[in-house]
Structure 1
Amino acid sequence: MTSNLAAVSYGVKISPDSLEGVRKVLADAGAEVSAESQEGDDRFGVFTSEVEARLESPDDLSALRRRVAEAAVEGVDTALVPMGLRQAERKLLIMDVDSTLIQQEVIELLAAYAGKREEVAAVTEAAMRGELDFAQSLHARVAVLAGLPAAVVDSVRNEVRLSLGAAELVAAFKAAGHVVAVVSGGF
């Protein structure tokens, strides 16, 4: 079975060399990459290449995605999606809040008011390394916030800064009739 996929690569300041690296990773993983199908948007650092992959089962797509993730090109993330989904008239952009849509980790900003920023940052880093599961990490981080006055939330709100290009990305998606959603596994 052959499946047409879109390899959507994104990152800050993607170079032609890094895109060539993505194509090589895909080819090494068994996908046929059509170089002439590449399209991109320099404003947001998003580039798409059409990929034809021979997949025997849905598990093959998972394996291909795993291989691409394991051989990642520095500074570039690549998502493999069915071409039909990529070409859909209406799209849905879902992004994380902390350190993605915004530049900070809100729970660390709150913890700073409790004098525990470094402690919370260390727990966050341990969770990112897989040393703690999400529930353990969240409980450990929230415990240090006990007793903070509610007014701290307003102070933290004033410290939050959008990531570079985030406002333009959301505006462009909405102007094109797409839907944007944000989620947070943090706080």
Structure 2
Amino acid sequence: MTSNVTAVSYGLKLIPAELEQLRSLLTGHGAALQAETQAGDGRYGVHTADLALPDASAAGIPALRHAVAQHRQDGIDTAIVPAGLRKAARKFLIMDVDSTLIQQEVIELLAAYAGKREEVAAVTEAAMRGELDFAQSLHARVAVLAGLPADVVDSVRAEVKLSEGAAELVAAFKAAGHAVAVVSGGFNQILQPIAESLGLDYWIANDLEIVD
């Protein structure tokens, strides 16, 4: 059987014992190991396992992804990539922004200037647990920003830090001819300069209303 799925694992350090646990998990879910490669640049390690999955269907791949997610290992992330996607000549990468492209939650940085960072963080966590819908959580968090001076936006923009490897990821995708986009529940005033500096193809976020 030819490979139809690839498991891509990456982290600051790939521990052999943890990779062996991953192999056992994959084969335990019916995947046959076809080939493996391992590489790195001194900062990150990347391990790929080409697999033959008997049920590489719309149901089989999500089931394998769920199993891998449930077995999450500290410091290592694993993506289950269908062969068709990996071999596609042109790909489209879409990312979240807060705590993904960047290290922080922008609305919490803004809220800190109002002395409400912990309050806003609690609302964010409730939304992530599914206790609030997006609109409710956004309105609740933005409400605490009322009355802040406009120049706070500039201060927060200066505090934002890209996640480790984010710039390299975008550059590699762009160099390979792929398109990169980000979608954010945050604000264009913060996102646009980041998107332009990275050369992103598309980005979308909310506009934070600033009234004199």
TM-score w.r.t. structure 1 length?
0.85
CA distance, structure 1, for counterparts of residue 96 and residue 28 of structure 2: 30
Cα drift, residue 50 of structure 1: 0.7
CA distance, structure 2, for counterparts of residue 54 and residue 39 of structure 1: 24
* Number of matched pairs: 186
Cα drift, residue 40 of structure 1: 3.7
The equivalences for 1:94-113 within 5 A come to 94-113=94-113
Higher mean displacement: 52-61 or 161-170: 52-61
Q: Do the aligned partners of 1:37 and 1:50 also contact (CA within 8 Å) in 2? A: yes
State the secondary structure of the residue aligned to 2:59. helix
The equivalences for 1:1-187 within 5 A come to 4-34=4-34, 36-42=35-41, 44-55=44-55, 57-187=57-187
State the secondary structure of the residue aligned to 2:69. helix
Pairwise CA RMSD of aligned residues?
Answer: 2.4
Cα drift, residue 119 of structure 1: 0.6
TM-score w.r.t. structure 2 length?
0.76
CA distance, structure 2, for counterparts of residue 74 and residue 29 of structure 1: 21
* Identical-pair percentage: 70
Alignment CA distance shift 1:87-1:37 (3 Å): farther
Cα drift, residue 128 of structure 1: 2.6
Please list the CA deviations of residues 37-83 of structure 1 after superposition, one character each: whole Å capped at 9, or x if unmatched. 33444455443211111118522322222222112223222222211
Alignment CA distance shift 1:90-1:66 (3 Å): same
Which residues of structure 1 form unaligned runs of 5+? none
State the secondary structure of the residue aligned to 2:22. helix
Cα drift, residue 186 of structure 1: 4.1
Which residues of structure 2 form unaligned runs of 5+? 188-212
